[in-house]
Amino acid sequence: MIEDKNPQRTSLEHLGEFGLIEHLTKNFDVKHSSTVTSIGDDAAVLDHKSKQILVTTDLLVEHVHFDLSYMPLKHLGYKAVIVNLSDVYAMNANATQITVSIAVSNRFPLEALEDLYAGIETAAKVYNVDVVGGDTTSSNKGLIISVTAIGEADESDVVLRSGAQVNDLVIVTGDIGAAYMGLQVLEREKEVFKVNPQSQPDLSMYTYIIERQLKPEARKDIVELLKALDVKPTAMIDISDGLSSEIMHICKQSDVGVELYETKIPLDPQVISTCEEFDIDSTTIALNGGEDYELLMTISQDDYSKIKGNPNLTVIGYITEKDRGNLLITRGEQAIPIIAKGWNAMKNEA
Ligand code: ADP
Ligand code: MG
The whole-number average pLDDT for the span 225-235 is: 98
Nearest residue by C-alpha to atom 2 in ligand 1: 42
- Whether residue 66 has pLDDT greater than 90: yes
Strands 144-153 and 52-61: antiparallel
**Which pLDDT belongs to residue 349?**
46
Nearest residue by C-alpha to atom 9 in ligand 1: 135
**Which pLDDT belongs to residue 166?**
98
Residue pLDDT, tens place only, 150-184 = 999 999 999 999 999 999 999 999 999 999 999 99
The whole-number average pLDDT for the span 59-68 is: 95
Q: List Cα–Cα distances, 69 to 73, 111, 185, in angstroms.
A: 10, 16, 13
Could you tell me the distance, in angstroms and rounded to a whole number, from the CA of residue 137 to the centre of ligand 2? 8
Could you tell me the distance, in angstroms and rounded to a whole number, from the CA of residue 132 to the centre of ligand 1? 9
Phi, psi of 319 (to 5 degrees): -85, 140
Strands 130-138 and 94-104: parallel
Helix axes 207-214, 269-278, angle to 10 degrees: 100
Nearest residue by C-alpha to atom 16 in ligand 1: 133
Scanning the chain, the segments in alpha helix (DSSP H) are 16-25, 73-89, 110-126, 178-195, 207-214, 220-229, 243-254, 269-278, 282-288, 304-307, 342-349
Quick one: 120 exposed, middle or buried, by C-beta within 10 A (0-12, 13-18, 19+)? buried
Tell me the pLDDT band of 348, cut-offs 50, 70 and 90.
very low
All structural domains of the chain, each given as residue ranges with its CATH number in brackets, are 16-157 (3.30.1330.10), 169-337 (3.90.650.10)
The residue with greater pLDDT, 8 or 154, is: 154
For a ligand 1 pocket test, name from 136, 137, 143, 144 the mutation site with the most ligand atoms within 8 angstroms of its C-beta: 136
Give the integer Cα–Cα distance in Å for 130 and 211. 25
Residue pLDDT, tens place only, 119-140 = 999 999 999 999 999 999 999 9
Nearest residue by C-alpha to atom 18 in ligand 1: 134
- Whether residue 232 has pLDDT greater than 70: yes
The whole-number average pLDDT for the span 307-324 is: 98
Ligand 1 surroundings by CB, under 6 angstroms: 21, 25, 39-42, 100-102, 131, 133-136
Measured from the Cα of 28, ligand 1's closest atom is: 25
Measured from the Cα of 39, ligand 1's closest atom is: 14
Task: State whether the Cα torsion 332-337-338-341 is positive or negative.
Answer: negative
Tell me the pLDDT band of 1, cut-offs 50, 70 and 90.
very low
**Which pLDDT belongs to residue 5?**
59
Helix axes 73-89, 110-126, angle to 10 degrees: 30
Q: Do 59 and 110 form a contact (C-beta atoms < 8 A)?
A: no
**Which pLDDT belongs to residue 344?**
52
Q: Which ligand is nearest to the CA of 16?
A: 1
The residues near 333 (Cβ < 8 Å, ≥ 6 apart) are none
